[in-house]
Amino acid sequence: MKVHMVKALSLPDAWYQVLKLIQIEGEEFKVERGSEKARTKKIASLVFVERPELRPLLHERAPYTQSYIYQYYLEYLAMGERKPEETYTYGERLRRPVDQVKKVIERYKEAKGDRQCTMVLRLPQDLDLDDPPCLTVIDTEILGGKLNFYLYFRSWDAYAGFPANMAALQLLKEEMAAEIGVEPGFSVAFSKNLHVYEREENFVKEILEPSPTTPRRWATFKKP
């Protein structure tokens, strides 16, 4: 297995590079368990984004709007609530039974050289779930007066999940950094299975090789 490296300045740049890399280097992977059983093209990749705070947070051809990102952040990442029909949300895992976000902020206020501020979303009992959290770990570190994120995704939809996840996590980082009294820094994300579903391939082709006569289309997708 080859592990790819993506270095990008901004989140839109990272998204475009990831899609291009999967188109060129992606290997076929048949998903046999999870929320969707389907054929995909996937890579294992480390993605480094130097300045994820740069606006806009979304590529102009991303399959949703900036206003959706703020809604997604508030509903599924910032709050510790979930709807009765939901098994979990990232926000619930971060806030309950321990508010990990609050704890990390408090620890960094005491010592910015703390190396132990890791937030975990995966639970041992998630092995019994049909679709456990894709985002597993949010590790953090303050370097040079900036709060940096180190992320691990066990599985990651590059087309629909990547841009929403990275933008919402950037909003979380900025909120935490402001409370700590530092600036937001870089983001590093790794996934062993960063993929494009077969049903998304035509949308990706339009993004990478847009036709001047082809109107922009929007994909339908599940919550990232």
Asked if residue 190 belongs to a domain, the reply is yes
The pLDDT of residue 129 is 95
Asked if residue 64 belongs to a domain, the reply is yes
Asked if residue 213 belongs to a domain, the reply is no
pLDDT, one tens digit per residue, over 110-135 is 999 999 999 999 999 999 999 999 99
Asked if residue 25 belongs to a domain, the reply is yes
The pLDDT of residue 37 is 93
The pLDDT of residue 35 is 83
Going by the DSSP 8-state scheme, the letter that residue 74 receives in this structure is I
pLDDT, one tens digit per residue, over 129-161 is 999 999 999 999 999 999 999 999 999 999 999
- pTM more than 0.85: yes
Asked if residue 223 belongs to a domain, the reply is no
Q: Which range of residues forms the domain containing residue 202?
A: 3-208
Q: What CATH number did the domain enclosing 10 receive? A: 3.30.572.10
Asked if residue 217 belongs to a domain, the reply is no
Amino acid identity, position 180 = I
Exposure string for 119-134, b = 16+ CB within 10 A, e = fewer: bebbeeebeeeeebbb
How many domains in the chain?
1
Q: How far apart are CA 136 and CA 190, in angstroms?
A: 11
The residues of the chain scoring below 70 in pLDDT are 211-224
